[in-house]
Amino acid sequence: MTDYISTKDTAKLVRVALKNAFPGVKFSVRMSTGTASAWMNVSWSDGPTDREVSAVTAIYEGRKFNGMTDGYDDQGSALVAFDGEDMPRVVRYSCDGINTHRDYTAAGYRVAQHLISTDSDHK
């Protein structure tokens, strides 16, 4: 039997996964509204790259938008072992997609500028 996990409950799982993967980084995980209510937005400042965050969040997408067909590709079910459960269970995430956005603070720009000036040939 397959359990369906709502987008709201998926957002909770995404928050925990990001917190475990990137301790010390504050993430904002918000569900979209209206016709995009099955989508999530994840944002953060400085810290990990978009690719690193997307690698963590991608497993929570039940479907992914395919721009070539202007439709969704089903990602299938996942076998998940939740805390305190004896046996893993088959789940399907109801989330249709997760958008990620990384901001840069002034302090982040200064650190990057320092790294470039000291560890690079670029000026």
- For 80-123, the pLDDT digits (tens) are 877 776 788 889 999 999 999 999 999 888 888 888 888 777 65
Tell whether the model's pLDDT for residue 76 goes beyond 80: yes
**Number of domains, the chain:** 1
Tell whether the model's pLDDT for residue 15 goes beyond 90: yes
CB 44 within 8 A of CB 53: yes
Give the mean pLDDT of 25-41: 92
pLDDT at position 83 is 73
Whole-model pTM: value is 0.81
Tell whether the model's pLDDT for residue 19 goes beyond 70: yes
pLDDT at position 122 is 60
Residues with Cβ within 8 Å of residue 61, at least 6 apart in sequence: 75, 93, 95, 96, 97, 98
More confident of the two residues 108 and 43: 43
| Residue 13, domain extent | 3-121
pLDDT at position 26 is 95
| Strand locations in the chain (E) | 2-5, 27-31, 39-45, 63-66, 71-74, 78-80, 89-93, 97-103
Alpha-carbon distance values, 48 to 14, 23, 40, 88, 113 (Å)? 15, 10, 18, 30, 17
Tell whether the model's pLDDT for residue 59 goes beyond 70: yes
